[in-house]
Amino acid sequence: MRSLDIAGTGMQAQQTNVEVISNNIANMTTTGYKRRRAEFQDLIYQNLRRVGSNSSDNGTVLPSGAQVGLGVKTAAIYRINEQGNLTQTSNSLDLAIQGNGYFQVTLPSGDTAYTRDGTFGLAADGTIVTSDGYPVAPGIVVPTNAQSVSVNASGQVQVTLAGQTDGQTVGQLQLATFPNEAGLDAIGDNLLRETTASGNPVTANPSSNGFGSVMQGFVESSNVNVVSEMTNLISAQRAYEMNSKVITASDDMLQTLTNLK
């Protein structure tokens, strides 16, 4: 019976749906996290009577035909790049992006990764780094005798040194954007990697045309909406249950056939 396999694909699809939702809920407090959404497609169809085929020798044509679907499959899991709320931390090295763009991070391999997580700190030599110790491009170093650090909306990093009243510029942060942000590859640790699907990065100073601005003393919260996720979870659970009932009904029908005498 096709219904057994069809319902099985439905249960697998809803299991994936629940896994995506659970990952969203698990990361509801992850800085800079963007929620995901599972998308599904119907599987190939079996033609019992092909639409448009001749139904007689006189050239009459079937107006609709008869097709039986074979279930569902996961087509994609999209990243929803909606702006998250900005939470004030009053930490001078916490930075949030308001608008488009990603911070650039230099990995130990020398490759560049991208992130919306602006919870930065200082390495032993004064380099601005991520929470994992990876340098934030372009490798800005804060002098050890700096009394304060300020970052303006355009990403310019200035420090006030001991015995001085005027700020001194020590570096310029740049943001990166992509033609297709959904094509970025998530590699964990709040980092994303460029792919062929994402296209090549375009870099510029914050507050430039098409780029967001930097806010010092803030971090971007996750854009997960807990109410929506719980609603989606209930819907996915009900869909899973309905598919399981189809399998139960199909099994009962097969049992009826085997009991025929």
The average confidence (pLDDT) of the chain is 92
Q: What is the pLDDT of residues 15-67, one digit of tens each?
A: 999 999 999 999 999 999 999 999 999 998 888 888 778 777 777 887 877 87
Q: Does the structure show a pLDDT above 80 at 75?
A: yes
Interhelix angle for 2-26 vs 226-258, to 10°? Answer: 160
> What is residue 7's predicted lDDT score, i.e. its pLDDT?
94
Stretch 211-226: mean pLDDT: 95
Question: What percent of the chain lies above the pLDDT cut of 90?
Answer: 78
pLDDT for res 69: 86
pLDDT attached to residue 47? 83
Task: Give the percent of the chain with pLDDT over 70.
Answer: 100
- Which of the four pLDDT bands, split at 50, 70 and 90, describes residue 105? very high
* CA trace torsion 49, 54, 60, 65 (10° rounding): 20
What is the pLDDT, as a whole number, of residue 62? Answer: 76
Cα–Cα dist 74/92, whole Å = 43
Domain boundaries, the chain: 2-81+224-258, 86-220
Give mean pLDDT, residues 92-111: 95
pLDDT given for residue 48 in this prediction: 80
